[in-house]
Amino acid sequence: MFQAKARADILKEVVNVVSTLVDEAKFSVNSDGLSLKAVDPAHIAMVDLSLAKDAFEEFKADEAEIGLDIDKLSQFLKLARADDIVDIKHDEDKRRLNIVVGDITRRMSLIDTTGMSDPKVPSLSLPASLTVNVDDLVQGIRASETVSDHIALLASPESFEMTCEGDMDQVNWKKAKKDMESLEAPSSVRSLFPLEYFANMLKAVPSGSSVTMHLGNDYPVRVEFKIAGGKGDVRYLLAPRIESGD
């Protein structure tokens, strides 16, 4: 059983976070709230999302798995204004999700979740961590997008940098520790990432909020931020690109 009411803008945030990596996803619900883990088709990135039940206006659920076509959901939510209340009900017998916005009811067929595996979140020890405003980062990304298809993230005890090197041009974005919300780096670390993935992840972060990143040397990056006004947690994991030897 799953039945809930939520503000449309909160659901849109969830859809933005998930659609960055996958078209179809398996949501798990239980009495505490809703969660999801998914890996993109190329196995380069992973999302781990949880939304506490108090992010919803109303929330009632037993343990269940719901397979959703994210595109369909996103299309339907476009009909709703930010402060509209969306009514969601899982129809287990007909294997559908009934969603109501205002006078419109959408009965959405669910995707079979039996073939969808549960990705394991690797446990990583990432020595550096830092917190910055997402809008600053997005500016740096926008400067990089025409230069190359990969971006280097560097954290040192004094600063955090993003560097993008193309065949001809170079872009560097740098923040000193004093201008950041926090920066903890015992030594300098550097990893290279596919820019498109990194950019899309940052674009899913609600504007104005803080992003925390955990970094290592030639190691994945973990990007953490809050959604639903602090009542939801998102963790992205992105695998690096390593251009050494063969």
Partner 1 sequence: MVDSSSMFDEILSLEDLSRKSSMCVYCKGSKMLCGKDRCSVIARFYSASKTRERIDSLNLDGSSPPSVFVGRFGYPKVAIGPMIPPMHGDTSLYDTPERWAGMSIDDIIDFRSMMVRGMHWVKVGEVESPNKLVVRTRDLALARTPPDVDAQFERKPYGRLSVNDDVQPFGPSAPLRRFDVSTCRFDARLEKAFFDTDLRAKDAVISLYKDGLLLSQIQRAFSVGAFGVGARRKFVPTRWSITAVDSNLGLHMLETTKTFPTINEYRVYETQSLDNRWAVLMMPTSWRYELIEAWYPNTAWNPHSDKIAIMSDCEFYDGRTDYASIGGCYYAARLAVNELLQRERRQAGVSIMREAHPGYILPVGVWNVRENVRAALRDPPRRFGTLKEALTHISTIMDIPMSRWIRNSALLKDALYQKRIDDLWG
- List, in order, residues 6 or more apart from 246 with CB less than 8 Å away: none
Closest to partner 1 by CB, 83 vs 246, is 246
> What is the distance in angstroms between the CA of the first residue and the CA of the last residue of the chain?
52
- Quick one: tokens of 240? 């690096």
Gap between the Cα atoms of 232 and 187, Å rounded: 32
Closest to partner 1 by CB, 83 vs 167, is 167
45 scored as a contact of partner 1 (CB under 8 A): yes
For partner 1 (CB under 8 A), the number of binding residues is: 23
Helix, coil or strand: residue 10: helix
Gap between the Cα atoms of 36 and 50, Å rounded: 6
Smallest distance, Å, CB 187 to partner 1? 19
43 scored as a contact of partner 1 (CB under 8 A): yes
Q: Transcribe 95-108 into DSSP letters.
A: TEEEEEETTEEEEE
201 scored as a contact of partner 1 (CB under 8 A): no
Q: Quick one: 226 exposed, middle or buried, by C-beta within 10 A (0-12, 13-18, 19+)?
A: middle
- Quick one: tokens of 108? 């959405």
Lookup result for tokens 């088709």: 41
168 scored as a contact of partner 1 (CB under 8 A): no
Smallest distance, Å, CB 219 to partner 1? 7
Lookup result for tokens 């998914």: 38
Angle between helices 134-144 and 195-203 (to 10 degrees): 150
Q: Which of residues 205-224 bind partner 1 (CB under 8 A)?
A: 219-220
Closest to partner 1 by CB, 39 vs 138, is 39
176 scored as a contact of partner 1 (CB under 8 A): no
67 scored as a contact of partner 1 (CB under 8 A): no
Gap between the Cα atoms of 105 and 95, Å rounded: 16
Smallest distance, Å, CB 40 to partner 1? 8
Q: Choose which of 1, 42, 79, 176 interacts with partner 1 (CB under 8 A).
A: 42
Lookup result for tokens 């595109």: 71
Closest to partner 1 by CB, 44 vs 141, is 44
Site string (95-134) toward partner 1, x via CB under 8 A: ------------------------xx-x-x----------
DSSP 163: E
Interface region with partner 1, contact rule CB under 8 A, candidates 62-70, 82-90, 134-142, 233-241: 233-241
Binding site for partner 1 (CB under 8 A): 39, 41-46, 119-120, 122, 124, 149, 194, 219-220, 237-243, 246
